[in-house]
């Protein structure tokens, strides 16, 4: 979707003058792009007519940068389509109860664990409740997940009634002072009456603050239909879109809210337990338009980069005392942030770069760099100038790399230092705010 939309809008970008016919032509392509992305056709129709109306409006066509303005309108309307602003969890009771529902394989159990971890990071004390007694090993799956993130899991085995399990789970949470209970439930392959009846019973008994529907974004239009059905029966409080990492079309993300009126609250971005993000419509819209998701990137960086170290690093860069020790620290922080290609994809402009998706950032290369730096003596790390030919040979042998590897690293380091020097002299006197903030 991104690519098609971007190429359609690209035609407007640098244009000095835009007339109605231009807008019409571009909107035809936007419409096709959305339909191809499996966005609900009613949603597409309304979207296109809203954007067209605004785009041919006086203030846009008469502005100095009409191309940019149209893109801005598309961005705003995409954001509106997905709910406008971030929809947060409403956890009011004590303990608050979150009930997870959805079809088999949608990602309920995985998301229960992710959500528990997410809430724990916000200083909550979650309890997970294993309410899927039908799928073999479902309970064990949740228990293993719970162990890995050190969050307790309540279960009564697979012979008990799920309604009773949910009730006792909540009672136990109360007893033990947990403030959030996440109830994992069973799914079927299709929505059916028996399933809904059981879920309704659980809902009646535990009176959840949130009923979250978990749907697989990769199923596109089906995900939206499932959401519509569940919402009719259960009146959901929110949707979690999983597997958004594998969803290249984005149809479900764009349609769910406007079809069901139910906001997407979280997005699953991978199989790992920390791959859950609060869903931000405006950021998703920017991502789709290839404008990058700078805010998510910054949040990621802030969560993973030690703020003290970042400030220190910045100070050193400015005073040009940057050494290989600092280089190593920086390397470690970057590694903590996750796969480099994922980070690059969030940067403005990078999304359009062909082949980025398939680019494998070479983790081995990073490992080599680390090994070489670790083989350096203290002196060498502080004063790289002293690393002569014989030292280079020693470093290569000590780190299990080649002299070429060592040469390359030292050259990169020197280049970086040079760049910093230029940068500092450029910004000197301007008193810029630091990146560590």
Asked whether the beta carbons of 135 and 186 are under 8 A apart, the reply is: yes
**Considering CB distances under 5 to 8 angstroms, the limit depending on partner class, which of Mg ion, ligand GDP, none binds residue 31?**
none
**Considering CB distances under 5 to 8 angstroms, the limit depending on partner class, which of ligand GDP, Mg ion, none binds residue 220?**
none
In the set 67, 95, 162, 268, which binds ligand GDP (CB under 6 A)?
268
Strand order in the sheet with 276-278: 153-154, 126-131, 180-185, 96-101, 210-216, 238-242, 264-268, 276-278
Which residues does 281 contact at the CB level (< 8 Å), separation at least 6? Answer: 78, 79, 80, 81, 82, 83, 84, 85, 86, 257, 264
Pair type for strands 210-216 and 96-101: parallel
Q: Euclidean distance between the first and final Cα of the chain, in Å?
A: 35
In the set 160, 271, 362, 379, which binds ligand GDP (CB under 6 A)?
271
Q: 156-179 b/e with 16+ CB inside 10 Å = b?
A: bebeeebbebbbebbebbeeeebb
Could you say whether residue 106 binds ligand GDP (CB under 6 A)? yes
In the set 187, 220, 281, 384, which binds ligand GDP (CB under 6 A)?
187
Q: Is 168 annotated as a binding residue?
A: no
Query: Which span sits near Mg ion by CB under 5 A: 39-47, 124-132, 149-157, 288-296?
Result: 124-132
**Considering CB distances under 5 to 8 angstroms, the limit depending on partner class, which of Mg ion, ligand GDP, none binds residue 105?**
ligand GDP
Which residue bears the tokens 């799928």? 135
In the set 66, 83, 95, 102, which binds ligand GDP (CB under 6 A)?
102
Q: For residue 374, what are its two tokens?
A: 């670790």
Q: For residue 415, what are its two tokens?
A: 């280049």
Could you say whether residue 109 binds Mg ion (CB under 5 A)? yes
Could you give the CA distance from residue 94 to residue 116 in angstroms, rounded to a whole number?
16
Find the radius of gyration of the CA atoms of the chain.
26
Could you say whether residue 245 binds ligand GDP (CB under 6 A)? yes
In the set 96, 110, 286, 296, which binds ligand GDP (CB under 6 A)?
110
Q: Least distance (Å) from Mg ion to the CB of residue 8?
A: 40
- Touching ligand GDP, residues 207-236 (CB under 6 A): 214
- Touching ligand GDP, residues 278-297 (CB under 6 A): none
Could you say whether residue 137 binds ligand GDP (CB under 6 A)? no
Residues lying near ligand GDP in the complex (CB under 6 A) are found at 102, 104-110, 187, 214, 242-243, 245-246, 268-271, 275
Residues lying near Mg ion in the complex (CB under 5 A) are found at 108-109, 132, 138
């Amino acid at each position: 979707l991104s690519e098609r939309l971007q190429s359609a809008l690209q035609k407007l970008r640098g244009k000095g003058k835009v007339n109605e016919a231009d807008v019409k032509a571009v909107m035809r392509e936007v419409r096709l792009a959305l339909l191809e992305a499996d966005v609900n056709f009613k949603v597409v129709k309304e979207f296109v007519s809203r954007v067209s109306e605004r785009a041919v409006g006086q203030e846009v066509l008469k502005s100095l940068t009409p191309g940019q303005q149209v893109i801005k309108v598309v961005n705003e309307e995409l954001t509106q389509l997905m709910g406008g602003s971030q929809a947060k969890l409403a956890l009011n009771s004590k303990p608050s109860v979150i009930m997870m529902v959805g079809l088999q394989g949608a990602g309920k159990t995985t998301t229960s664990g992710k959500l528990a971890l997410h809430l724990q990071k916000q200083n909550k004390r979650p309890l997970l409740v294993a309410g899927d007694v039908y799928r073999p090993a479902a309970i064990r799956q949740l228990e293993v997940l719970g162990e890995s993130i050190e969050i307790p899991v309540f279960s009564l085995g697979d012979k008990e009634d799920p309604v009773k399990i949910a009730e006792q789970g909540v009672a136990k949470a109360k007893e033990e002072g947990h403030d959030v209970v996440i109830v994992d439930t069973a799914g079927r392959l299709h929505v059916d009456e028996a399933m809904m009846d059981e879920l309704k019973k659980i809902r009646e008994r535990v009176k959840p603050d949130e009923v979250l529907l978990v749907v697989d974004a990769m199923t596109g239009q089906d995900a939206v239909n499932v959401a519509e059905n569940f919402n009719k029966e259960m009146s959901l409080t929110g949707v979690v879109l999983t597997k958004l990492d594998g969803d290249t079309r984005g149809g479900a993300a764009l349609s769910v809210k406007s079809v069901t009126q139910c906001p997407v609250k979280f997005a699953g971005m991978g199989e790992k337990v920390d791959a859950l993000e609060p869903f931000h419509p405006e950021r998703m819209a920017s991502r789709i338009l290839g404008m990058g998701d700078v805010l998510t990137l910054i949040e990621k960086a802030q969560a993973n980069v030690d703020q003290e170290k970042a400030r220190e690093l910045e100070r050193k860069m400015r005073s040009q005392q940057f050494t290989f020790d600092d280089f190593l620290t920086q390397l470690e922080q970057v590694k903590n942030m996750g796969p480099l290609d994922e980070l690059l994809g969030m940067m403005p402009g990078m999304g359009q770069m062909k082949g980025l998706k398939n680019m494998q950032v070479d983790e081995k290369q990073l490992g080599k760099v680390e090994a070489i730096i670790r083989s350096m003596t203290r002196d060498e790390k502080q004063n790289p100038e002293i690393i002569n030919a014989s030292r280079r040979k020693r470093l290569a042998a000590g780190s299990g790399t080649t002299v070429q590897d060592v040469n390359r690293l030292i050259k990169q380091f020197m280049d970086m230092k040079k760049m910093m020097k230029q940068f500092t002299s450029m910004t000197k006197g301007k008193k810029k705010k630091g990146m560590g903030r």
